[in-house]
Amino acid sequence: MRSNTIKVALIGCGRIAGHHARNVVAAEGVSLAAVCDLVADKAEAYSKDFGCPAYTDYRRMLTEHPDIGVVAVITPSGMHFEHAAEMIERWGKHVILEKPTVMRPEQLTALWQLADAKGVSVFPVFQNRHNKAVRRVRQALEAGELGAIRIVGVRVRWCRPQRYYDLAPWRGTFSHDGGCLTNQGIHHVDLLRYLGGEVETVSATMRTLGADIEVEDTVVATLTYASGAVGVLEVTTAARPDDFEASISFVGEKGLAQIGGIAVNELQVFTPDASACAANCEDFKGIQGQGAVYGYGHAAMYDDIAASLRHGTPYPVSRDDCMATLKLLHAFYRSDEAGGAAVRVDAPEQSVRLGRPDPVLSDLYRTPEAG
Q: Give domain limits for the chain.
A: 6-127, 128-344
* Phi–psi pair at 185, nearest 5 degrees: -95, 0
Q: Which residues contact 354 (CB under 8 A, 6 or more apart)?
A: 103, 104, 174, 178, 182, 329, 330, 333
Q: pLDDT 10s per residue in the chain (371 long)?
A: 345 899 999 999 998 999 999 999 999 999 999 999 999 999 999 999 999 999 999 999 999 999 999 999 999 999 999 999 999 999 999 999 999 999 999 999 999 999 999 999 999 999 999 999 999 999 999 999 999 999 999 999 999 999 999 999 999 999 999 999 999 999 999 999 999 999 999 999 999 999 999 999 999 999 999 999 999 999 999 999 999 999 999 999 999 999 999 889 999 999 999 999 999 999 876 666 555 567 789 999 999 999 999 999 999 999 999 999 999 999 999 999 999 999 999 999 999 999 999 999 999 999 999 86
What type of residue is 20?
A: H
Residue type, 226: A
The reported pLDDT for the residue numbered 370 is 81
Q: How far apart are alpha carbons 267 and 39 in whole angstroms?
A: 40
Residue of 212, 154, 208, 213 lying closest to 186 (CA atoms): 154
Sheet (strand 94-97) strand order:
54-55, 30-36, 6-11, 70-73, 94-97, 122-124
pLDDT of residue 258: 98
Domain spanning 128-344, CATH class? alpha beta
- Please check whether residue 204 is in contact with residue 231, taking contact to mean a CB–CB distance below 8 angstroms: no
> Residue 253's pLDDT is what?
98
CB of 68 within 8 A of CB of 93?
A: yes
Provide CB contacts within 8 A for 54, sequence distance 6+.
34, 35, 36, 37, 40, 43, 44, 46, 47
Q: Residue 283's pLDDT is what? A: 85
Q: So what's the pLDDT on residue 287?
A: 64
- H or E segment at 139? helix 132-143
Question: What is the predicted pLDDT for the residue at 263?
Answer: 86
| Helix (H), strand (E) at residue 189 | helix 186-196
**DSSP assigned state of 238:** B
Write the CB contacts of 318 (distance below 8 Å, at least 6 apart in sequence): none
Residue 181 near residue 158 (C-beta atoms within 8 A): no
* C-alpha–C-alpha distance, residues 325 and 349, integer Å: 15
pTM value?
Answer: 0.96
Which pLDDT belongs to residue 289? Answer: 58
Give residues with Cβ within 8 angstroms of 40, minimum separation 6: 54, 56
Q: What is the pLDDT of residue 1?
A: 36
Q: Of 1, 63, 6, 2, which is closest to residue 33 (Cα–Cα)? A: 6
Strand pairing class (199-207; 245-252): unpaired
> Could you give the strand order of the β-sheet that contains 218-225, starting from the edge strand earlier in sequence?
266-270, 256-260, 245-252, 149-157, 230-236, 218-225, 199-207, 343-344
Does the fold of domain 128-344 match that of domain 6-127?
A: no
Just give the CATH number of 6-127.
Answer: 3.40.50.720
H helices present in 215-371, as ranges: 276-279, 291-294, 297-311, 319-337, 359-363
Assign 94 to helix, strand or coil.
Answer: strand
Question: Which of 38, 76, 82 lies closest to 58, judged by CA?
Answer: 38
Which phi and psi angles does 121 have, rounded to 5°? -120, 155
Complete DSSP assignment for 27-61: STTEEEEEEE-SSHHHHHHHHHHHT--EES-HHHH
